[in-house]
Chain A
Amino acid sequence: MIRHAISNLNGWLSILAIVLASSAGDVLLSRAMKQIGDLGLLRARRGLIFVGLLVLRNRYFLIGVGCMAVAFYSLLFGLSWNDVSLIGPAAASLTFVANAIAARIFLHEHVDHRRWAAALLVGAGVVLMAL
């Protein structure tokens, strides 16, 4: 009983850590990629090495990868305590809702009614998955 409670607590703590670190990482990586441009076209025009160097020299990319590393180890921690069918969808779906807010604020994306509706559907899905 106590072990089950600890397992659930650790699972949800890891989900919180994944959401925060992953959202920060997603926003930073998105900003980096928007700065660089279409990777497929650049690779066709200038080659893979050029694109690799371009990406690795972008500071938003490097900080974003750092955030993703924190999210990754939080995921490993969570998976050692709870099922992948809870940790995976719950963390990723909550990250999606957090990203919709962060993208509007930090990336100035136009999050229209369609995208907000999608956020609500995903949020409701997360609640059901947690029951």
Chain B
Amino acid sequence: MNLRKYLVLAGVSVFAPVGDSLLSYGMKQVGNISLGDFSTLLLAITNPWVGLGIVLLLGFFASYMTALSWADLTYVLPASSLGYVLLAFIARFALHERVSVTRWLGIALVSSGVGFVTSGPEVSRRPPPRARNDAAMEPS
């Protein structure tokens, strides 16, 4: 692991909870949507908060793809789970949602799981040779 890889994991951790929170704020403005009201669900992305949330989630996606290109899925997911702690703080202090003591304990357990898995190696097996795939997937 080097600084570049830690920054990529930090991007995965931060972009996802902030993006989710903006989506939540926007969807509260849009209101409850029933299963039969699919058009409203599609139009929800025109809400500016939902739109901004989507932009941040695109940043998350780019960081996530980069991390998956050099680390195991079972490493990347928990390693980037520290964002849940950030999500709880955002929900409590920015969105003014009620976060109970039990939920805080749950979030603490999730964070412990993160600490557990990040103390191990990021790759458990070698990926296939890159040169072979480069040749096979060369854009024309």
Q: Footprint of B on A, CB under 8 Å?
A: 26-27, 29-30, 33-40, 42, 50, 53-55, 57-58, 68, 72-73, 75-77, 79-81, 83-86, 88-89, 92-93, 95-96, 99-100, 103-104, 107-112, 114-115, 117-122, 124-131
How distant is B124 from chain A, measured CB to nearest CB, in Å? 4
Closest to A91 in B: B20
Closest to A55 in B: B65
Closest CB-CB distance, B82 to chain A, in whole Å? 12
A109 with B66: in contact, given A85-B91, A121-B112, A128-B103 (CB under 8 Å)? no
B46 to chain A, nearest CB (A): 12
Additional A-B contact list (12), CB under 8 Å, known A79-B20, A99-B74, A131-B102: A34-B128, A75-B20, A80-B32, A83-B97, A83-B98, A96-B78, A107-B73, A109-B73, A111-B124, A117-B113, A118-B78, A125-B108
- Chain B residues near A68: list those with CB within 8 A: 61
Which residues from chain B contact A80 at a C-beta distance below 8 Å? 27-28, 30-33, 44
Partner of B81, one of A50, A109, A114, A122: A122
Residues of chain B at interface, number, CB under 8 A: 65
Q: Which of A26, A27, A80, A124: most chain B Cβ within 10 A?
A: A80
Please name all residues of chain B whose beta carbon is closer than 8 Å to the beta carbon of A53 when the two chains form the complex.
139
Check if A37 sits within 8 Å of B127, measured CB to CB: yes
In whole angstroms, how far apart are the Cα atoms of A76 and B35 in the complex?
A: 11
